[in-house]
Amino acid sequence: MIVKNEEKNIRRALSWGKEIVSEQIVVDTGSTDRTVEIAEELGAKVYHFKWINDFSAAKNYAIEQASGEWIAFLDADEYFDQKSAERLLSVLQKAEKMKQEGKLVHAVRSTLVNVNDSATAGVTFQQDRVFRNDPELRYENKIHEALRLSGSQNYGFLDASDELVILHTGYTSEAYERTGKRERNIQMLKKELKDNPEDVQILSYLGDVYLTERRFDQAKEYYRKAMTYGLEKGEEKTKAHTIRSVALLLMLYARESDPEQEEEVKELYKVCTDLYSAFPDGTYYFGAWLYQNKRYEEAKKYLESALDKLKWYKGNIPLYMTADLKLAYAQLADTCRHLDENEEAVRYCVMALGVSRYYTEALVMLLSLLKREEDESRTAAGTWGLLSQLYNISSLKDQMMILKGAKLTHFSTLEERVYAVMPEAQRRTVQEALAKQLR
């Protein structure tokens, strides 16, 4: 890994592979904190590389220090989850077996999940972070570096994206504030753009930085430029960035939900599906725009289609829909509720809570749907049974969540059931806390 001022992350970064790797190489690019000290204390081989505003140069220097046959190259704010770390050696054995059968595997593909501010899964995509120590495999691009194979060989990879998951914490607000990544990235990308003003990849990445800063007008400007140049040039190497830029434009239009923009939204959706009909994001954000404009029958069709595409999607273009998955289910639940398809609405509420059981809006919608029957005591029994499958009934946090939903929907018999499982002293404390919360 290459690092700078990562004392907060370096212990975890050097822990996930401790039992399976033969060496850990840390290339420091100018830390002023305890990063180097901690890395050395943990037994890593530490090298120093003068920072020259080029991530690929630093990473390629790190690769040159490696002696093993396979390299796992993760950033300090990334790590394999425990199950993935346990599977990694068997995946590499599979890659070696394929080599013996005449199918050379240069890299192993993993799923990378950005962990957001609420510690849940955000944007997901596939990346090749485990690869052979081959002199023809090196990183390219000064920023947003990518692994490339030179020479005459055909690049071969083993898709282990269902088995290997890398968690990335570097895109949380706290991480951006601490590291100053946004401003650094903007400056580096703009410098690159001066020399290459029509570079689709740089334009789309600038859109990304402005999107994370919630500077939506600037994000739209750069995504639109990336789309325009991408369509004009029609190059295969930038097609993924063109598709992603179109989908993220749709996301921004869905956020605005202006009915006057219908023609633009429809055109963007057509461009997205013409480029890559199986890509879930374009379909989802078109459906979300329709939902925001209360066009429920059309919205249901596209939202369900997006979820179906998501099930089968195996591409390597980042998926933003996964960060909005609980919202997609909630939108479908509300859509079905407006169409008087209440059983479907309940099902989608449950799916939204399966993604995040502390999603208040989905719980309130679910309880409103389940409370409709006249015999509230009988309804409460069935509702309690369902909630027992979604929540840990013995957990105070989960009890508080159910009580909050019951209070907001005036579901008094459900409230009584929750209080019945609490000791009396705790019940009084909870009642007081909840009253303050909902005041």
Q: Are strands 157-159 and 137-140 parallel, antiparallel or unpaired?
A: unpaired
Q: Which phi and psi angles does 81 have, rounded to 5°?
A: -70, 165
State both tokens at 208.
């990304």
Q: Please state the CATH superfamily assignment of the domain spanning residues 180-330 in this structure.
A: Tetratricopeptide repeat domain (1.25.40.10)
State both tokens at 196.
């290459």
Q: Which of 389, 439, 290 is nearest to 282 (CA)?
A: 290
Domain ranges of the chain: 2-175, 180-330, 357-438
Convert the pLDDT of each residue in 251-263 to its tens digit: 999 999 999 999 9
Tell me the pLDDT of the chain averaged across its residues: 92
Convert the pLDDT of each residue in 154-174 to its tens digit: 999 999 999 999 999 876 455
Q: Which residues contact 372 (CB under 8 A, 6 or more apart)?
A: 342, 379
Q: Mean per-residue pLDDT for 194-200?
A: 91
> For residue 124, what are the β-bridge partners?
113, 319
Distance in angstroms (rounded) separating the CA atoms of residues 223 and 320: 15
The H or E element containing residue 25 is strand 25-28
Task: Report yes or no: 282 and 272 within 8 Å, Cβ to Cβ.
Answer: yes
Distance in angstroms (rounded) separating the CA atoms of residues 363 and 369: 10
Instruction: Say yes or no to pLDDT of 292 above 70.
Output: yes
Q: Which of 439, 374, 377, 375 is nearest to 408 (CA)?
A: 439
Convert the pLDDT of each residue in 35-67 to its tens digit: 999 999 999 999 999 999 999 999 999 999 999
Cα 91 to chain center, whole Å?
A: 23
Distance in angstroms (rounded) separating the CA atoms of residues 310 and 285: 13
Q: How confident is the model at residue 379 (pLDDT cuts 50, 70, 90)?
A: confident
Instruction: Say yes or no to pLDDT of 200 above 90.
Output: yes
Note the pTM of the prediction, 2 decimals: 0.83
Q: Are strands 157-159 and 107-115 parallel, antiparallel or unpaired?
A: parallel
Task: Report, in this order, helix, strand and coil percent for the chain, each rounded to 5.
Answer: 60, 10, 30
Instruction: Given CATH 3.90.550.10, say whether it is the number of domain 2-175.
Output: yes
Q: pLDDT value at position 424?
A: 83
Instruction: Say yes or no to pLDDT of 119 above 80.
Output: no
Percent of the chain at pLDDT exceeding 70 = 95
Q: How confident is the model at residue 429 (pLDDT cuts 50, 70, 90)?
A: confident
Distance in angstroms (rounded) separating the CA atoms of residues 9 and 13: 6
Least confident range of 153-157, 247-251, 274-278, 325-329? 153-157
> For residue 114, what are the β-bridge partners?
168
In the Cβ-directed half-sphere of 351, how many Cα atoms lie within 13 Å?
A: 19
DSSP letter for 279, please. -
Q: pLDDT value at position 398?
A: 93
Instruction: Say yes or no to pLDDT of 176 above 60.
Output: no
Q: Is 298 exposed, middle or buried (0-12, 13-18, 19+ CB in 10 A)?
A: middle
Neighbouring CB atoms inside 10 A of 300's CB total 21
Residue ranges with strand state E in 45-195: 45-48, 70-72, 78-80, 107-115, 121-132, 137-140, 146-149, 157-159, 165-168
Least confident range of 118-127, 158-167, 201-210? 118-127
